[in-house]
Amino acid sequence: MKLLCAADLHLGRRPSRLPAELGDVHGLEADLMPQAAWRRLVEVAVGERVTAVLLAGDLLDDEHDYFETFGDLRAGVERLIEAGVEVLAVSGNHDVAVLPRLARTVPGLRVLGLGGSWEVATLTDDDITVHVAGWSYPQPYVDTSPVPHLAAALEGLATGTVVGLLHCDRDQTGSRYAPVTSAELDSAPVDAWLLGHVHKPDFGPRQRAGSVTGRYSGYLGAISPADPGEEGVFGAWLIEVEGSKEQPLGVRRVPLAGLRYETVTLDAGDVAAPEELVVAVSARVSELAAEIEADSESDAPLLALGVRLRLVGRSPDRAELARALVTDDPRRLVLGVGTGGPVVFVHDHRFEVGPTHDLEAIAAGHDPLALVARSLLLLEYDVADPEAGPERARDGDRDRARERARERGMLLEAARANLDSIGGGRHYTALPPADLSDEVLTGLLRRAALDLLDAMLASRDAA
């Protein structure tokens, strides 16, 4: 049995930071709206011959969007019903009032758990049975978890796979949006939790004590990004349920959005001259677009790519580069990439270029500045470099090389221990462990030390 699962359609919402040229020149604006992603979802469901489409809340962005979005929603549901696909949904905090009204006028759209009580819909396909348990918001704000009341609704059900459909706030103390904890979701007799509310997807196998349980849980994410803070791939999830309950679920992401936001980093060292900044930016964003096209997970076309530009690194032309960002503002850049490729635009830029420093000269001092400079030199010391490492050093420098390697190791271990203690705090228990490899730590420490060095030098100069 196949189930196509999605959440947070927010039909009626217009993505932010879209330049006028996307509509005026390229005629793309309508194809970048959530309504277009919904139409693609319907076609995927029909093409994959799914048994049901499951929607985890916030189908509409606002009750005032009723007339604007009614036609799209109704047409999609009618197309699914004609193809023999059931449509099951729960309301979220955005559509608590309007979704029940829509369900009464859209034949085939079934809203589960109206009034804040769990309701179960059973799907069958040959010898496969799936129970979909759904709960809908009774009012816009709910400050208690609905999960403790689920067990009663599941009593007496025939053997089958249980799917939970819920719009909620996970592991957020004090939330007013049906707050639940990962622990109670994990302990519930549910094989897959399909969650709505948070737009960034994290749906995947459950983790317990460092191992995968074979059950699935997480946010499905929105079907289309709403603003530049929502980067990456957005769409739905195709779940395949096998005949035996013991077999793991088959799960595949299905991209649907014609719009994507990403951050691109350009090192100032790759800019030949300040007046060549716009050329370097154009080349870098075109390269990113080509990379995304090559890694595409589906046939869904990427029509537009919104980029946040980060200009980083060190440059003796720092002031000239800053002026070039004003003169040749990348936010005016809108360009097509290749034949049939996406239209790329820069919606924001961040100037993070620092000045160059003579670290050896600063490190020769006897003040806090010298200490920071010496730490930077240690971070840039590569113990794996055969020309720099102690094994290849000349006899007179062998001891010093070993000492530098040891000091560098101590610096990284101290940082790792510090970040481990922070990551182990109760506020971060729901997050996956951070990457604290030597390479990542070196980059973090180097950026922090350079920022500190800049601030200390600026303070000294001002004094």
338-351 pLDDT, tens digit each:
566 788 899 988 88
Q: pLDDT at position 393, please?
A: 46
d(CA 78, CA 109): 9
Helix (H) or strand (E) segment spanning residue 262 = strand 259-267
> What is the structure's pLDDT at 67?
64
Return the percentage of the chain with pLDDT > 70, whole number.
Answer: 89
2: amino acid identity, one letter: K
pLDDT value at residue 77: 92
Of 57, 41, 59, the closest CA to residue 4 belongs to: 41
449's tokens:
């030390």
Q: How far is CA 394 from CA 63, 205, 379, 401, 404, in A?
A: 76, 53, 21, 9, 14
pLDDT value at residue 390: 44
CB-based contact 438:412 (threshold 8 Å): yes
Of 14, 10, 18, 23, the closest CA to residue 306 belongs to 18
Q: What is the pLDDT of residue 134?
A: 96
pLDDT value at residue 298: 55
Mean pLDDT of the chain: 85
Question: Which amino acid is located at 199 in the chain?
Answer: H
For the full predicted model, state whether its pTM sits above 0.85: no
Hey, CA dihedral for 69, 74, 80, 86, is it positive or negative? positive
Buried b (16+ CB within 10 A) or exposed e, 82-102: eeebbbbbbbbbbbbebbeeb
Give the pLDDT score at 382: 61
The Cα–Cα gap between 51 and 437 comes to 45
